[in-house]
Structure 1
Amino acid sequence: MAQYIGLFAAVLTTSSLLPQMIKLYKTKRVRDVSLVWTILLTVGILFWLIYGIMIKDIPIIFANFVSLLLSGAVLIGKLIYKKYE
């Protein structure tokens, strides 16, 4: 049961980045996206990924690898489109 709860939590938290990423790249508006929040989130996810690798937990590794890609895309978008506002 714990594995299913963990998997469900991983899917929800990982997919929560998709709406922000899609909106950012469609509108190219980043004024309302906090740079500090994006950096903290990305670094936190990186540490979760490292932790998952250290304990060899595949669900943690997978969820945080995907989350790192998504939060990295939001961070890159913020940095690229910030100069246009």
Structure 2
Amino acid sequence: MPSFDPFFSDLFGYAAGILTTVAFLPQVIKTYASRSARDISLSMYVIFTIGILLWLAHGLLAGSGPVVAANSVGLVLSLSMVVMKVVFGRGKR
């Protein structure tokens, strides 16, 4: 396997992390603004949150800054969706 400069590897990692993490921001903003999570799948976000926790643990164990940074922010966004789904879904049936 070819060897890559760690700077460029981290640069690509941070760029990928920023794009994939920011992709969830519009949904978080829309859900918060509308106070409705009716069409949001709770099971999808719970499974996704567990996956992010595992990626975060992997990044911490591997010492990967891009993985830790992206998944720390992603965890906050994902947990906020889980909380909004539970809170905004109360009493609406």
Fold similarity call, TM over 0.5: yes
Gaps spanning 5+ residues in structure 1: where? Answer: none
Gaps spanning 5+ residues in structure 2: where? Answer: 1-7
* 1:61 counterpart residue number: 68
Instruction: Give the percent of matched residue pairs that are identical in Structure 1 and Structure 2.
Output: 35
Aligned length: 85
Contact 2:10 2:65 in 1 (8 A): no
- C-alpha RMSD over aligned residues: 1.1
TM-score normalised by L of structure 1: 0.92
TM-score normalised by L of structure 2: 0.85
Q: Which has the larger radius of gyration?
A: 2
Per the alignment, do residues 77 and 46 of structure 1 end up closer, same or farther by CA in structure 2, a change over 3 Å counting? same
Deviation beyond 6 Å, 4+ runs, structure 1: none
> 1 or 2, which has the higher helix percentage?
1
